[in-house]
């Protein structure tokens, strides 16, 4: 069965510093991996995805994520955090064949401190 783990409920980082939001997954087969961001009272916004190819994928708002198959991880990163990046971040996985629905992690609240 698919599962996604986001080990940190909360991540605090100073503005201008690099940020990392961690995600590990467990699936039977090769995964499709996604990051979404949720701002207060808003829906989920797509940030980036890994399907195949280059393990480093770049997405919206300067975010990037690195797929690591041996560690079954897909950590979200940004070189320089902005206060406006403060939000709830969700990692999600979808198995390549069969089900096309998303399995979400529990979310990580990112707070960027001015």
Partner 1 sequence: EPEVTQTPSHQVTQMGQEVILRCVPISNHLYFYWYRQILGQKVEFLVSFYNNEISEKSEIFDDQFSVERPDGSNFTLKIRSTKLEDSAMYFCASTIGLAGGPGYNEQFFGPGTRLTVL
Q: According to the binding rule CB under 8 A, does residue 29 interact with partner 1?
A: no
Residue 37's Cβ-count burial label (10 Å; 0-12, 13-18, 19+) is: buried
Q: Which of 43, 53, 54, 114 binds partner 1 (CB under 8 A)?
A: 43
Distance CA 114, CA 111 (A): 10
Q: According to the binding rule CB under 8 A, does residue 90 interact with partner 1?
A: yes
Q: How far is the CB of 72 from partner 1 (least distance, A)?
A: 18
Residue 90's Cβ-count burial label (10 Å; 0-12, 13-18, 19+) is: buried
Task: Give me 11's structure tokens.
Answer: 């991540």
Task: Give the residue among 19, 2, 108, 24 at the shortest CA–CA distance from 69.
Answer: 24
Cβ nearer to partner 1, comparing 41 with 70:
41
Q: According to the binding rule CB under 8 A, does residue 10 interact with partner 1?
A: no
Q: Which of 14, 51, 56, 113 binds partner 1 (CB under 8 A)?
A: 51
Task: Give the residue among 60, 62, 70 at the shortest CA–CA distance from 19.
Answer: 62
Q: According to the binding rule CB under 8 A, does residue 30 interact with partner 1?
A: no
Cβ nearer to partner 1, comparing 15 with 32:
32
Q: Which of 7, 58, 69, 96 binds partner 1 (CB under 8 A)?
A: 96
Cβ nearer to partner 1, comparing 67 with 90:
90
């Amino acid at each position: 069965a698919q599962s996604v783990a986001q080990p940190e409920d909360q991540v605090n980082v100073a503005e201008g510093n690099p940020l990392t939001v961690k995600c590990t997954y467990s699936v039977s087969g090769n995964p499709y991996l996604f990051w979404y961001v949720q701002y207060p009272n808003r829906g989920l916004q797509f940030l980036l995805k890994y399907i195949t190819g280059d393990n480093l994928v770049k997405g919206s708002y300067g975010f990037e994520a690195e797929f690591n198959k041996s560690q079954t991880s897909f950590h979200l990163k940004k070189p320089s955090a902005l206060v406006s990046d403060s939000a709830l971040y969700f990692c999600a996985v979808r198995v390549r064949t069969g089900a096309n629905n998303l399995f979400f992690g529990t979310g990580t609240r990112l707070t960027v401190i001015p």
